[in-house]
């Protein structure tokens, strides 16, 4: 038999999958069908849960070219399987972006006479993505459109004329309808999927078993609760589908106009659009139904739906390829990410457009449906990446352990029942009943209660989530990344000052840019003209930095109206001019020359062309024309380093770096400006098609503009709180490196006495390897410089060999903090992989980071076993927000699809709130899990002891325990609110930590000891014998006492309940009554012991419902025990026991309660004790105090894990310990590190 052809799809991408081909096998299908019948359908259900087995057990492996079924498995850590059917379509061609055969243009595509001319195209669809079979590569490939690296020239030439109807119909065969069709499943469909969940299948199995055992009342109660749970789940799931459907339905079906040739247009439904269609964008805008690239004109777009950024964005036409500055023809490949300033994304709202006279703005459709940007976001919501959290893995393993415990109990029950001569049917029922007792069916619902309550509290704090399962993970965050501008600092910028350049030298700093003497300055003209501002509703709108710089000049911006534009053959430019200018009064009868001369006296600058700001290029530029001048002038604005490198060397002052460092060290936002008078060959028409590289070279440096970006009031206290909580803060920004370092010191990310190491990595050049230059920032206070010279900085370490002690926030901090730029980060990724982890361990400031570099940083930190959070404004941080364990977008939208969490509070105060609620939810999950585990074990012990005398708990007893006690306590236990302060330690992540295991085991041993002790004691009592008188009360107790000398029967279960013979074992017995009281009080004791308060949750006295449940249940049990009521005793099938025995039971239960609380609080949850035990053998492990950011924080945190001889599990902790003994780390100042050459190069 030929092996399955295994290959990969989406290789080296985030959604890479292994694929293997299969075809149905008749004999395997027959065997599976037979097994399904014999197993009553359970085998089919089992294969439904495990798709890999359903394929392997029903199909044979075949090459992919012959496959009718493909088996997919993700290559990430989750290794998720999926079974997909291969389908085929008939088309007059096999190229999706091609056209039908010429003969097909004249006749319908699928005429019966044409079938032999059609080509079969095989494909499959997975997560709304279509994969086509490629005969050339003999594999399936993702169906791509015009975003697959096509040259920009081809988008203008080959695809810019529109599609004929026949080609559009042909392409729709491959790409399908252009709609993001989020189908709302019907109630029956959702019900079937929900019921087939293993949890509900187990509940159905349990209810059938209980019904066979005559526990009808209990089974009915569980059925009712299951129906309520299913109903709530169906309502929630359907509501989410409806919300998502409504979110995408607004632009699913609208009417649009497309080109059918150079001049012919047609109005169609947006669902008919395919890649290659040319869309006409109306002047009033529209909600875009697809991804498209602008071919001409400009558009003002609101992208808040995608990014959460409410500032409108200006989109310009995709530039046509031209000759670059080096004379070579430049034709870059189109990419939606690199050319996003020219791309209109699906779901965004076009506010207005600028267009030629008699023409409209044209946009080329590049992606449709689920392939569009919004479609991909919807897919990420519909098919979220599984959450990798140790709690859930450990919970599954613990459940398997409970199943193993149940197996032991089942074996004991079978052996004991056979010895007692039980019937076979009875033996099977009793043994299976053990399984339903040991594995509590209500466990999943109880564990999610804490997350549900936390989500509700977060909503009250204006924090919304589209991924509630991540709330638990927030409780484990130990590193938090922050964007700077708009996150740590205010959105608005304040103009601080400017420095002009004259004759290659800086002039003194100025503050008043509106001075009359500067009205004609090129620097002022650049500030007024170099921006992307536009007028919307009579108000200036655009980037906050552009807006602040323009407003500082006091100039006026005027945009032409549509009527004015229609009077000319070209787009009328936006005009800026100084304030106070009024049109000159022209005398009547003046000639045209005189009128023109009067107008020439006005100082106005027209903006003819814009090259928008690019995060990767770190600059923007405009081409302008001043009224009365012939030559065009280009102005550029951007990062000082970038602008300076593009200027003529003689125009850049020699002290450029020193002046720039002077202002950036003050925390100022520094922008550089430059200009260039273009040659006569550059006309208005030519610049419309010229590359920006041709314009942005040979510039004249004009000077620097400084803006002050003030910290938000909440930034410093929040960061201080995070540091006290041992959560490491990191700054990730696109701003200047020294500015970021200065802001980092100001806000406390870098401690006052922390040493900053500037890291500059240079790529290989002229045969020399890549190099890292280390430079210590000259920012240390004088007293620290005296202790440690900048030339000889050594580790300042304590000599005392003591276990780590918590250090207060005021302890002197001499730690090292690396500051790395985006270009250096890229070089380190490529050439210094061995140093990357060391730099990440100590890296605190990352500046000039592009959006994709932010994502790479988050991934690298996660690979070091950090739990990483990211807080940003949602614009350039989308990738990082999605990649982080907890991404928080500061957006005005209620729920942004840019990140799992969205805060409507525009500052970082939401971060501690989220971490607090995450910790509370995580601890609640642990508490509930331990409580439910103890509940099952306690009941398991009671049933096994009763099975030994052929007895059991009664139907009403089960019902009372599971509903009145367990459910009420489990769900109210989760209501504790989060503790208002963040504690230094973090909650445990694993159920196998020593403290948690000890907690569970001690409670199990306590429960076992008291139950077995009470069981043996009651059997030794002289009054323990069968009794016909079932009345219980003071009189009955006296009667029972007077007959206590009678012969006793230690096995009360041998007499059927009520004195009537039947096939069922007796329920009412002294042993049953004793164990019922003891076990019920044990449930209350463990609930009280496990209901943790500080340091992660508020104490139980603040949880009114939980206290009320405890008091109510305890009072009822005490009433039953000390003042028996015959009606209740009869209902619960409790036997009459002497009053002295009741007092003994009370003493036993009180002793159990005291011991449970004592062991839990003074042994299992005693941090000083565990600190002493954990660190007693590690006294000499830390010869020095840590001088690295994460170790310095971890030392403050009392750990929950205790590993006396093993190294830490987390990679970053192991690395930090290794660096303490590395004499060459940290690097010495003013030194360099060279990358190792590959062996081939080094031996050459």
Candidates 799, 912, 806; CA nearest to 1199 is 806
> What confidence tens digit (pLDDT) does each residue in 1202-1225 have?
444 567 778 888 888 888 888 888
Among 145-154, 654-663, 1146-1155, where is mean pLDDT lowest? 145-154
Tens-place pLDDT, residues 748-777: 888 877 888 888 888 888 778 888 888 887
pTM of the predicted structure, to 2 decimals: 0.74
Nearest to 531 by CA among 543, 513, 514: 543
pLDDT at 569: 44
Rounded distance between C-alpha atoms, residue 204 and residue 210, angstroms: 10
- % the chain with pLDDT above 70: 81
Lowest mean pLDDT among 61-75, 787-801, 879-893: 787-801
Tokens, residue 24: 């149905």
Q: Is the predicted pLDDT of residue 974 greater than 80, yes or no?
A: yes
User: Which tens digits make up the pLDDT trace of 585-622?
Assistant: 555 655 555 555 555 556 788 888 888 887 667 888 99
Residue 1226, preceding peptide bond in cis (omega within 30° of 0): yes
More confident residue, 933 or 1173: 933
Q: What is the pLDDT of residues 371-397, one digit of tens each?
A: 888 888 788 778 877 665 566 677 777
Strand 87-91 and strand 119-126: pairing?
Answer: antiparallel
Active-site pick, 213, 394, 433, 483: 483
Contacts of 640 (CB under 8 A, 6+ apart): 656, 660, 670, 671, 672, 704, 736
Between the alpha carbon of residue 1075 and those of residues 805, 986, 1134, the distances in Å are: 47, 38, 10
**Cβ contacts of 178 within 8 Å, gap of 6 or more:** 270, 271, 272, 273, 274, 289, 290, 368, 369
Q: Confidence band (pLDDT; 50, 70, 90) for 544?
A: confident
- Among candidate residues 609, 640, 639, the one with its CA nearest the CA of residue 622: 609
Q: Determine the average pLDDT of the residues in 777-784.
A: 44
Q: Identify the CA nearest to 850 among candidates 574, 639, 640.
A: 639
Task: State the pLDDT at residue 734.
Answer: 79
Contacts of residue 806, defined as CB under 8 A and 6 or more positions apart, other chains included, come to 984, 1195, 1196, 1197, 1198
Q: Are the CB atoms for 175 and 145 separated by under 8 Å?
A: yes
pLDDT tens digits, one per residue of 670-699: 889 999 998 888 877 777 777 788 888 889
Helix axes 424-438, 910-947, angle to 10 degrees: 160
| pLDDT tens for each residue of 287-309 | 888 999 998 888 888 876 665 55
Mean local confidence (pLDDT), 622-638: 87
pLDDT value for 325:
53
Higher pLDDT pick, 96 / 448: 96
Mean pLDDT for the chain?
A: 78
Q: For residue 437, count other CB atoms closer than 10 A to its CB.
A: 25
**pLDDT tens per residue across span 1066-1099:** 678 888 999 999 999 999 999 999 888 888 888 8
Which SS3 state, helix, strand or coil, does residue 208 take?
helix
Task: For residue 1095, say if its preceding peptide bond is cis, omega within 30 degrees of 0.
Answer: yes
What is the mean pLDDT of the segment spanning 42-62?
Answer: 89
pLDDT in tens, 860-918: 998 888 999 999 875 567 778 888 888 888 876 554 555 788 888 888 899 999 999 99
Which of 915, 919, 916, 878 has its CA nearest to residue 899? 878
Angstrom distance (rounded) from CA 801 to CA 1179: 6
The order of strands in the sheet holding 298-302 is: 313-316, 298-302, 349-354
**778 catalytic residue (yes or no):** no
Q: What is residue 1119's predicted lDDT score, i.e. its pLDDT? A: 92
The shares of helix, strand and coil residues in the chain, as percent rounded to the nearest 5, are: 45, 20, 40
Nearest to 391 by CA among 993, 1198, 1212: 993
Q: For the segment 979-1025, what is each residue's pLDDT rounded down to a tens digit?
A: 888 888 888 877 777 778 888 889 999 999 999 999 999 988 888 76
Banded pLDDT at 803 (limits 50, 70, 90): very low
């Amino acid at each position: 038999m030929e092996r399955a052809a295994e290959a990969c799809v989406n290789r080296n991408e985030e959604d890479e999958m292994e694929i293997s081909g299969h075809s149905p096998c008749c004999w395997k299908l027959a065997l599976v069908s037979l097994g399904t019948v014999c197993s009553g359908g359970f085998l089919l259900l089992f294969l439904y849960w495990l798709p890999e087995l359903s394929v392997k057990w029903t199909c044979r492996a075949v090459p992919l070219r012959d496959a009718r079924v493909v088996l997919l498995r993700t290559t990430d850590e989750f290794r998720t399987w999926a079974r997909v059917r291969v389908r085929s379509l008939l088309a007059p061609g096999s190229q999706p972006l091609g056209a039908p055969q010429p003969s097909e243009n004249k006749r319908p595509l699928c005429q019966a006479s044409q079938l032999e001319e059609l080509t079969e195209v095989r494909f499959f669809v997975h997560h709304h993505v279509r994969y086509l079979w490629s005969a050339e590569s003999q594999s399936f490939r993702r169906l791509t459109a015009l975003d697959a690296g096509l040259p920009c020239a081809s988008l203008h030439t080959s695809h810019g004329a529109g599609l004929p109807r026949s080609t559009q119909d042909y392409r729709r065969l491959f790409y399908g309808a252009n709609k993001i069709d989020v189908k709302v499943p019907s109630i029956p469909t959702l019900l079937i999927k929900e019921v087939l969940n293993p949890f509900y299948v187990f509940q159905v199995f349990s209810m059938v078993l209980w019904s066979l055992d005559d526990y009808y009342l209990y089974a009915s109660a569980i059925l009712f609760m299951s129906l309520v749970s299913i109903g709530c789940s169906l309502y929630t799931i359907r509501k989410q589908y409806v919300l998502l459907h409504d979110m995408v339905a607004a632009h699913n079906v609208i009417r649009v106009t497309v080109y059918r040739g150079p001049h012919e247009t047609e109005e169609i439904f947006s669902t008919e659009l395919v890649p290659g269609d040319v869309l006409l964008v109306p002047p009033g805008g529209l909600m875009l139904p697809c991804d498209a690239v602008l071919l001409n004109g400009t558009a003002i777009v609101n992208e808040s739906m995608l990014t959460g950024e409410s500032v409108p964005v200006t989109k310009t036409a995709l530039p046509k390829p031209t000759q670059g500055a080096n004379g070579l023809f430049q034709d870059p490949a189109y990419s939606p990410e690199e050319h996003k300033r020219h791309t209109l994304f699906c779901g965004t709202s076009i506010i207005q457009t600028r267009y030629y006279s008699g023409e409209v703005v044209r946009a080329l459709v590049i992606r449709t449906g689920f392939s569009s940007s919004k479609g991909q976001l919807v897919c990420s919501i519909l098919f979220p990446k599984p959450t990798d959290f140790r709690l859930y893995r450990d919970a599954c393993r613990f459940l398997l352990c409970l199943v193993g415990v149940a197996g032991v109990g089942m074996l004991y029950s079978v052996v004991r029942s056979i010895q007692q001569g039980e019937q076979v049917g009875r033996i099977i029922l009793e043994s299976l009943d053990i399984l339903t007792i040991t594995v509590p069916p209500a466990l999943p619902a109880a564990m999610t209660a804490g997350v549900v309550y936390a989500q509700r509290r977060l909503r009250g704090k204006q924090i919304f989530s589209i991924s509630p399962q991540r709330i638990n993970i927030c409780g484990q965050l130990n590193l938090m990344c922050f964007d700077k501008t708009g996150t740590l600092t205010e959105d608005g910028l304040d103009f601080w000052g400017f420095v002009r350049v004259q004759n290659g030298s800086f002039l003194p700093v100025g503050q008043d840019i509106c001075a009359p003497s500067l009205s004609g300055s090129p620097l002022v003209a650049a500030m007024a003209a170099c921006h992307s501002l536009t007028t919307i509703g009579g108000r200036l709108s655009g980037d906050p930095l552009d807006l602040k710089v323009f407003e500082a000049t006091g100039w006026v911006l005027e945009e032409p109206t549509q009527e004015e534009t229609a009077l000319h053959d070209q787009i009328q430019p936006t005009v800026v001019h100084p304030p106070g200018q009024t049109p000159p009064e022209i005398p009547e009868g003046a000639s045209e020359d005189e009128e023109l001369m009067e107008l020439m006296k006005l100082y106005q600058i027209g903006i003819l062309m814009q090259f928008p700001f690019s995060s990767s290029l770190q600059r923007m530029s405009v081409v302008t024309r001043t009224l009365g001048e012939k030559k065009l002038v280009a102005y550029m604005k951007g990062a000082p380093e970038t602008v300076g490198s593009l200027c003529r060397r003689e125009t850049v002052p020699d002290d450029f770096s020193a002046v720039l460092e002077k202002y950036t060290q003050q925390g100022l936002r520094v922008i550089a400006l430059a200009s260039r008078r273009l040659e006569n060959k550059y006309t208005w028409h030519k610049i419309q098609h010229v590359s920006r590289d041709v314009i942005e070279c040979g510039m004249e440096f004009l000077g620097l503009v400084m803006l002050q970006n003030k910290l938000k009031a909440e930034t410093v206290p929040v960061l201080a709180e995070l540091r006290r909580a041992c959560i490491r803060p990191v700054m990730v920004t696109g701003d200047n490196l020294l500015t970021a370092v200065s802001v980092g010191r100001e806000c406390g990310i870098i401690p006052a006495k922390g040493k900053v190491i500037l890291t500059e990595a240079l790529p290989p050049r002229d045969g020399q390897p890549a190099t890292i230059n280390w430079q210590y920032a000259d920012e240390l206070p004088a007293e620290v410089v005296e202790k440690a010279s900048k030339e000889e900085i050594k580790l300042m370490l304590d000599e005392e060999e003591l276990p780590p002690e918590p250090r207060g926030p005021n302890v002197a901090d001499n730690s090292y903090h690396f500051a790395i730029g985006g270009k250096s980060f890229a070089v380190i990724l490529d050439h210094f992989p061995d140093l990357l982890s060391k730099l990440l361990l100590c890296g605190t400031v990352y500046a000039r980071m592009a959006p994709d570099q932010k994502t790479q940083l988050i991934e690298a930190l996660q690979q070091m076993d950090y739990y990483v959070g990211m807080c940003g404004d949602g614009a350039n941080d989308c990738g990082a927000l999605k990649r982080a364990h907890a991404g928080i977008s500061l957006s005005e939208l209620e729920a942004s699809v840019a990140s799992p969490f969205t805060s409507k509070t525009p500052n970082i105060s939401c971060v501690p709130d989220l971490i607090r609620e995450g910790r509370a939810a995580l601890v609640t999950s642990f508490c509930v899990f331990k409580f439910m585990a103890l509940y099952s074990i306690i009941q398991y012990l009671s049933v096994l002891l009763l099975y030994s005398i052929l007895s059991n708990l009664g139907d009403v007893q089960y019902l009372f325990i599971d509903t009145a006690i367990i459910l009420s306590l489990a769900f109210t236990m989760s209501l504790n609110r989060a503790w208002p302060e963040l504690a230094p330690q973090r909650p445990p992540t694993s159920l196998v930590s020593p403290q948690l295991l000890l907690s569970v085991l001690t409670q199990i041993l306590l429960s076992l000891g008291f139950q077995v002790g009470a069981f043996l004691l009651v059997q030794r009592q002289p009054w323990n014998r069968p009794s016909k008188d079932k009345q219980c009360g003071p009189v009955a107790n006296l009667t029972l006492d007077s007959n206590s000398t009678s012969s006793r029967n230690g096995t009360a279960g041998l007499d059927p309940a009520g004195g009537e013979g039947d096939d069922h074992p007796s329920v009412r017995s002294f042993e049953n009554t004793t164990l019922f009281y003891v076990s019920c009080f044990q449930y209350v004791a463990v609930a009280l012991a496990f209901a943790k308060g500080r340091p992660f949750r508020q104490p139980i006295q603040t949880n009114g419902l939980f206290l009320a449940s405890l008091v109510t249940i305890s009072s009822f049990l005490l009433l039953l025990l000390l003042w028996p009521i015959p009606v209740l005793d009869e209902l619960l099938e409790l036997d009459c026991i002497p009053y002295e025995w009741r007092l003994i039971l009370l003493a036993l239960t009180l002793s159990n309660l005291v011991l449970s609380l004592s062991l839990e609080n003074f042994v299992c949850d005693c941090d000083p004790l565990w600190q002493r035990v954990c660190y007693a053998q590690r006294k000499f492990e830390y010869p020095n105090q840590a001088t690295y950011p994460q170790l310095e924080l971890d030392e403050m945190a009392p750990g929950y894990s205790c590993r006396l001889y093993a190294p830490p599990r987390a990679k970053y902790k192991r690395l930090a310990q290794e660096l303490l003994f590395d004499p060459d780390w940290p690097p010495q100042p003013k030194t360099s590190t060279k990358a190792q050459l590959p062996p081939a190069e080094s031996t050459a």
